[in-house]
Structure formats: structure tokens, C-alpha cells
Structure 1
Amino acid sequence: MNPDFDPPLLRAFIAVVDTGSFTHAAQRLHLTQSAISHQIRRLEEQVGTPLLYRTTRALTLTPSGVDFLQCAKQIIVMLDSLSQRFNPSPVTGIVRFGVIENFLGDKLAHLLCQFGRTYPSITLDVNVSPNLDLTAMVAAGQLDLAVLLCKENDADCGSVLRKTRQVWVAADNFTLAPGASLPLALSPSPCFHRRACATALEETNLGWHIVFTSPSQHGLHAAVLSGLAITIMPDDDVRPGMRIVDGQYGLPPLPDAAFVLAWSEGNKTDAACEFGKMIEEMSRAPMQSQKITVPA
């Protein structure tokens, strides 16, 4: 066993674990899938024991893989810190970035952290706002780039990062008396979901009223989980305790949507371009079905 592990092999192993597949790891590292497989094989030969159990449906860390992953991450963090300390990135400046709250979920924090570590000389100015506010800010040149939600077939919004499906959502225990007005929980105007809701309901004879308003996704989730109201959200935002109620209570269909990356019309700075690349890379597989599992 060779105790001197090559950093590229460690990065390949971490990428496979983080993304859940060899294919997504290859995309992240800009390599071929066969190259990633070869690197993992070389690493396991160096370690002298398997690190991953491979099946057609899943990848599972072996007990040795669990221990090795923790050490590999510590080594890469130290190497990155050393590189940034003595070989700082030549890219500097400020990136003014806008994003809607539910884009990438918990991975948004990881994105910001990773970018900060990679480009310590770049300052991030992040604005989390309702969707149409961000649209106006990009158009006015107040933001360099932003992640927006728009109709899937609206090609003028920006480059598509990820497609999604809008759904009507209620609590598992939500009930509505026959003929009663539909209670809704929505973000304040301007809001993409609020506009989609109003447009869809205008095509029906349903009675409806807004009982809860919040600019926060957490607030809307709380209103729904309490059984107070129905709301609209992307289908991958549905949480335990919620159920999709499309077609129930006379609810009309909703248009498909997409998360897009929109740029201001001004010149793109090197700093903004680097951040845009990282957003595109991370958004390629934010909801992958294949996961790395850790044995109990």
C-alpha cells in the first residue's frame, strides 16, 4: 500500500460520494466516466481495501470507505487552504447575485461556501427576494446575475438550469367543506407562484381567498402543514406531512416551470462568470435519485 495518496484521486472519491454517481462526479470534475472509474480503482488499490460497494442501483460506502472519506475531506480542505494562502486567485471583484429561496435548497449554502473558498478575493453580495423583484433588479442592472423561476416555454427568461413542475399542495389532514371558498397561502406580490395561481383560478368558477401571506418559504410551509391553506410550490419542495392535490377540489392544472440563470445586459465580469459556471455545475444534479448510503 502506498501511503502517499494523489489529491486528484481523493477529489474523485469525494465527488463520487457527494454526487451519488460516477457520471455526475465526472461532470463535476470535467472528466469522462471511465476516467473516474479508473481513479477510484487506483485509489482502492493504494488503500488496499474496497471503499465502495457498487450495484446497478446504488453506491454504498464500505466501513473503510466511511473512515477514509472523513480523512480525505480533511486533506483536501487543508490543500485548498494552502493553495489559497500562497497562490491566491487572480480573479477579484464583487458579484451581485440574486436567488429565489427554494433554489437548490440546503445546497445553496454549500455553493456560497465553496465559491468563497475557491475565490477568496471575490466579494459576494447575495439578495434573496421574490422572483419578480429579482427580474426587475436584473433588468435594471442592479444584479449581475440571478436565478429565477419562469414558465418552461418562456425562452427569454435565461438559460435553463433545471426544469420543475408546479403543484397544488395541502396538508395530509387538510379538509374542505363542499362549496366552501378555497383558502390559499401565497407570497406577496410580485411572485411567480402567486401570478400562476391567479391566472389558473381565473379560468375556473372556484371561490377562493388568501388567508396567509409570507415572503418566506418556511412561513408558507408552516401554513400548509397546519392545515390552514393550500399553496403552490415546485414538486421537489413537497415535505413530509404535505400531499399534492392536483385535480382535487376543482383545482385547475398549472404550467410547468424552470429555474433559469438570467444575466444583466452589462458586461460580464470575470468574477461573475466564474460564479455563473459554479451555479451551472452544481445545479446539474441537485435532485439526483442515486445516493451514496452509509452503513449503520
Structure 2
Amino acid sequence: MSTVELKAPQLPPAVRDVVDGLAALPAVRSVRVAGSRARGNPTGPDSDWDILVYTDTLPARDELRRLLPPGAGSSGDRFEPHTANPGHPFQETEFTVPVSPRIDVCLRPLAHLRQEEERAVRGAFTVHSYPKTAGGVPSYILLSEAALSAPVHGDVGAPACPGALVAAAVPWWRGRASCALLLALDHVAAGEPLGALEHVLAAATSVAHARLISQGRWYPITKRLLGEAGALDGGARERMAGLSAGRLTEAAVRQVADALEVDVDSGLGWLARGEHMGPGRQG
């Protein structure tokens, strides 16, 4: 499935200075604008700038420090690039440029992106725990952000969504939604409505993932995920908004399942196959 390359927005001087500095580093292959700025729907004039940098190797700390505006990163001002632990979905190094609006820079090993492209062609992916998004994040987020970002220097291409990934991901996310609603019913029966609500929300997020990938659309980390995916159409949003600790009953959970078009009982089969241990795993 094809992907249309986004056009980079006009960069204010502070952002342009950072982008030009990054582009001049020997290991850098591409610099791209990501997030709401690339999609053309920032939350406001003070919305952050997210900059993606694809590199052969990670630049040294001193090289990155030179990208900061005068006075920033001095002895009285901490400059701490954060590098993720091995196995993290992004395997990234990131830092913030302290200007207004803030500039968040994320450096990505280009080899990791290519590896994930190869896995996607085979229909392989992993779901990682990640605090910025409910229910975790799929490893193909690396392809998503490349496809949903706009190049301002160099290019890594806009990865298309392979048919094999769609075929593997849709049933997995649908199964996860079924399992989540099954667990919600268990929590209701145990008198734990707040625990039930957590699983209902996980089900809605899983349906959003399934709907996006079924259309060959990449998943963005965004506060608008449920709306963009259409996961809460058909009365589901009203059902979800009406849930509370006092009203979360078995009947309410099943009404949400109907609105999300999820077969709760199929969650048992999903568990029996060992899919809860990770996409593609069999018990």
C-alpha cells in the first residue's frame, strides 16, 4: 500500500538553526519534522516541534551540545541526552532544545528502521509497553513516524504498509480487544469496576489499532488516536463516555463490545493460542 510523502512546514529561525546543525553532522542521513507540525494540526502556536534524525551512528554528546542556543547547556544548565535501554521500541537518543516553542530531537539508528521494514514485509511485529500511550506501542511505530513525517534534509523514504503486516496485525489487535473486554467482565464480577474500566479502554485502543492498519494507515502517537481511527463511531463514544465506577456493569461492558463490534467470547480462543504472550506466538 502506498504512502504519500508529507511536505515540510515552514521552519521558524530557531528550528531551522537546529535542523541545519543536525544536517551538518557526518553521520546524519535525514532530518524530518514529525508530530502535529508535520500533519498540519498543531494544538496551538506554542506546540512543540518534534524533529526526527536518522543516523548511521549516534553523534557524540559534544556534537549535540553545539546545536544548543548560546547559554544553554552551560555548567548551570543541564544537558542530558537520554538513550533508551536495549529492547526499547525506539532504541533512541533524545534531547530537548530549551527555546520557545520547545524543540524535541529524537535520533534514530537508520539500521533499526531498515530492520523493522524487513520484519513488516514478513508480517512480524512486537508490542512494547510504553507510558506515552495506553495499551503499549507496536514496533512498526518506527515505520509510522517515518511515513508520517516530512523531510527537510536527506530522505529515508516514506515506508508503505505491507499487506503481510495488515494480515497479521488486524486479527491480533481484534483478539486483544476481545481479551480486554473479557477481563473487564471478570473485574466487574469481582467487584473491581476501576480495573474493568482500564480493560475497556485498552479494548477501544486495540480496536483503533486494528481499524487503522486494516486500511493500510500508519499509527501515529497522538491524542487524537481514537477519533482518527474511527474506533468510537457508531455509539461507542457515547457508551464509553457514560461509563463510571458506579455504572460499569456486565451489561454496560457488553454494550461497549457491541458498539466496538468486538466478540467478547472470542477472547478465550485468543488466550488459548498464547497470543497474549506477543503477536504471532502460539501456545
TM range (shorter): under 0.3
Q: TM-score, normalised by structure 2?
A: 0.24
Q: Write 1 or 2 for the structure with the bigger share of strand.
A: 1
- Based on CA coordinates, which of the two structures has the bigger radius of gyration? 1
- Relative contact order (C-alpha < 8 Å, sep 6+): which is higher? 1
Q: TM-score, normalised by structure 1?
A: 0.23
